A and B are shown apart, each in its own frame.
Chain A
Amino acid sequence: MNLFRQIASNLVKGPVPGDAAGGGTGGGSDPESDAELVSRSQKGDYSAFDALVTKHRGRVYAMIQNMVKNEADAWDLAQEVFVKVWKALPKFEARARFSTWMYRITHNVVYDWMRKRKFETVGELDDNVLNRERIAVGATATPAHGARPDEALVQAELRKKIEGALEKLNPEHRETILLREVQGLEYKEIADVMDCSIGTVMSRLFYARKKLQTLLTRTHEPES
């Protein structure tokens, strides 16, 4: 007789705190618009806020993960984003899209974290040093020629190259590229998120794209 089974039969059953919030909405068969959910959340309806979280957590987490490149930190920061969203919801006005406003909070949380991290590890976060190491790793591990028969491998390799190139961009350029090309935001929305002018967004896009192209061209060049 398994000891665990014996013990389990003595248990006291009860609801897991927060379980309904986590499992109940899961994508939602009756999706409400952000505006409706925001309006209900602003009145203190937590289930509406939970639905908003479920709807947007994937984008927030992806954005953060692509910026900080660490799962555990991205998880914590995504939590922080939604805590801030909840606290700031009463002040949210429907002039901007909810998602744009949420990206703005995400931007602030990530940059605060980066600043704090840089402050805590002065000297250790030298981008050039880190990037140089990554270039070397990518360069030796990545054959320049020869298509692989396995598409998944090719895709994985491509992803590695692109992620490596993105990491070599400075945070502003990387974020601009991610918001534009991956998240599909308009120039004006990116300007709102990053708290800069549209002209600055255009300029960042221009240089970030050029640098990205240069970096990826380099990784495709045969090793000498």
Chain B
Amino acid sequence: MNQNRKEELLTCWMDGTLSSEELSELEPVLAGHPELQREREEYVKLREDLQATIPAELEPPYPDFFNAHLERLVHGASRSPHAGPGGKTGLSRLWNWWMVPAGLAALLAAFMAGTLLNPSSVPPPLSAATAVYAPNKNVEAAAVDDKDLQATVIVLTGLADLPDENLIGWGGGSHSERPGLLISAFETY
């Protein structure tokens, strides 16, 4: 029996999927190597351990944002799968999931600044370019483009009260690729 055939039969034997003819074919090998039986028993145990410890399914972090962001990517690429290729998945690098809470907090600070500077202005329509996501189901998030301030702000409702001292500073200026998007980095809660 050549090596390839032996490997094939032993693999099936480990999985318990050998036919009776194949088992007869393998028997001389098994008789010559009694340690194989022990190896098989050990592997059965190892397989159980593998299945018990390595998950076959694992929800990605922020699963609903996963879908929402994917939709933006797909619609950025094309309206229909028949419309052909387009879009750059590399854009997703800008939206690493771990940036979401920090981004929301930064934009909230920008909104605060905008409201304080111009409290009577009527907010313009929602931004079509900005997707917002709040991991907490009780919190609503909305994106607003303020042309006067040259800023995109995120408004959150449903958050618990935060001490004023935690609503810390905000950063001004424009992101080089997205004018109007205010960036600030500070602790999030």
Contacts and interface: CB of A to CB of B under 8 A. Distances in A.
Nearest to B137: A23
Interface residues of A, number: 73
Given A87-B78, A182-B50, A213-B46, A58 B68 contact: no
Contacts of A76: 89, 92-93, 96
Interface in B74-125: 74-75, 77-82, 84-85, 87, 89, 92-93, 96-98, 108, 111-112, 115, 119, 123
B163 to A, nearest CB: 8
A106 to B, nearest CB: 13
A87 B68 contact: no
Interface string A1-18: 011110110111111111
A83 B133 contact: no
Interface string A63-102: 0011000011011101110110011111000000000000
Contacts of B123: 11-12
Contacts of B143: 16-17
Contacts of A44: 79-82
Contacts of A2: 161-162, 164
Contacts of A155: 52-53
Interface in B150-164: 155-157, 159, 161-162, 164
B39 to A, nearest CB: 7
A18 B68 contact: yes
Nearest to B65: A22
Contact of B126 (A12, A59, A86, A216): A12
A115 to B, nearest CB: 16
Interface in B127-170: 128, 130-134, 137, 140-144, 155-157, 159, 161-162, 164, 167
B96 A213 contact: no
Contacts of B65: 22
Between B39, B54, B133, B157, the greatest number of chain A beta carbons within 10 A of the residue's beta carbon is seen for: B54
Interface stretch (A117-125, A131-139, A158-166): A158-166
Interface in A143-183: 155, 158-159, 162-163, 166, 177-178, 181-183
Contact of B70 (A72, A79, A166): A79
A150 B24 CA distance: 45
A21 B72 CA distance: 10
Contact of A4 (B61, B74, B98, B167): B167
A90 B73 contact: no
A10 B157 CA distance: 10
Interface centre among B7, B46, B60, B157 (most CB of A within 10 A): B60
A49 B74 CA distance: 11
Given A83-B74, A212-B46, A18 B69 contact: yes
Nearest to B73: A83
Contacts of A183: 56
The 6 A-B pairs at the shortest CB distance, nearest first, are namely A18-B68, A22-B64, A58-B57, A62-B58, A11-B155, A159-B53
Interface of B: 4, 7-8, 10-12, 14, 39, 42-43, 46-47, 49-61, 63-75, 77-82, 84-85, 87, 89, 92-93, 96-98, 108, 111-112, 115, 119, 123, 126, 128, 130-134, 137, 140-144, 155-157, 159, 161-162, 164, 167
10 contacts: A16-B134, A19-B133, A21-B71, A22-B63, A58-B59, A59-B56, A65-B58, A79-B92, A83-B70, A158-B49
Given A21-B71, A22-B133, A206-B10, 17 more contacts: A22-B66, A25-B67, A46-B71, A50-B71, A61-B58, A76-B92, A79-B69, A79-B92, A86-B74, A87-B84, A88-B81, A178-B54, A181-B47, A181-B50, A181-B51, A199-B4, A202-B8
